[in-house]
Amino acid sequence: MTELVPPERLPEWVPGRVLLASDGLGWRHVGLRSYHYRGQDVIVPAMRDFMLVGYQAGATPMQRRFESRWTRDRLGPGAVSLLTQAQKAHWTWVEPIDVTHVYLSPALMAEVASEAMDRHVAEVCLADVLRTEDPVLTAAIALISGEARQQGLGGALYVESVARALGVHLLRRYASVKFRESAASGGLSPTQTRRIVEYVEANLAEPMELSAMAAEVGLGATAFTRRFRKSFDQPPYRYVVSRRLERARRLLAETPAPIKTVAAACGFTDQAHLTRLFSRELGVSPAACRRASRSA
**How does pLDDT run across 121-145, given as a tens digit for each residue?**
778 999 999 999 999 999 999 999 9
Of 159, 178, 197, the domain-final residue: 178
pLDDT score of 268 more than 60: yes
Asked if residue 209 belongs to a domain, the reply is yes
* Whether 253 and 109 share a structural domain: no
* Whether 103 and 152 share a structural domain: yes
* Whether 125 and 265 share a structural domain: no
CA angle, 71 then 179 then 170, to 5°: 45
Asked if residue 1 belongs to a domain, the reply is no
Residues 6+ apart with CB under 8 A from 251: 257, 262, 265, 266
* Whether 75 and 200 share a structural domain: no
Asked if residue 266 belongs to a domain, the reply is yes
- pLDDT at residue 185, as a whole number: 55
* Whether 77 and 17 share a structural domain: yes
In degrees and rounded to multiples of 5, residue 154 shows phi and psi of 65, 35
* Whether 138 and 35 share a structural domain: yes
87 and 45 Cβ atoms separated by less than 8 Å? no
Q: What CATH number corresponds to the domain at position 243?
A: 1.10.10.60
Asked if residue 2 belongs to a domain, the reply is no
Render pLDDT for 77-115 as a digit per residue (tens, 0 to 9): 999 999 999 999 999 999 999 999 999 999 899 888 887
**Residue 203 belongs to domain spanning:** 182-233
- pLDDT at residue 126, as a whole number: 93
> How far, in Å, CA of 59 to CA of 97, rounded?
6
**DSSP conformational letter for 6:** P
- pLDDT at residue 1, as a whole number: 47
Overall domain count for the chain: 3
At how many degrees (to 10) do helices 221-232 and 236-254 cross?
A: 60
Sorting pLDDT into bands at 50, 70 and 90, what band is 182? low
* Whether 174 and 186 share a structural domain: no
pLDDT score of 117 more than 90: no
In degrees and rounded to multiples of 5, residue 236 shows phi and psi of -55, -40
* Whether 209 and 104 share a structural domain: no
- pLDDT at residue 127, as a whole number: 92
| pTM greater than 0.75 | no
Asked if residue 112 belongs to a domain, the reply is yes
Render pLDDT for 187-215 as a digit per residue (tens, 0 to 9): 888 888 999 999 999 999 999 999 999 99
* Whether 150 and 96 share a structural domain: yes
- pLDDT at residue 69, as a whole number: 86
Asked if residue 85 belongs to a domain, the reply is yes
Render pLDDT for 33-85 as a digit per residue (tens, 0 to 9): 999 999 999 999 999 999 999 999 999 999 999 877 899 999 999 999 999 99
Which runs of consecutive H residues, i.e. helices, occur in 89-208? Answer: 106-117, 135-150, 155-173, 190-202
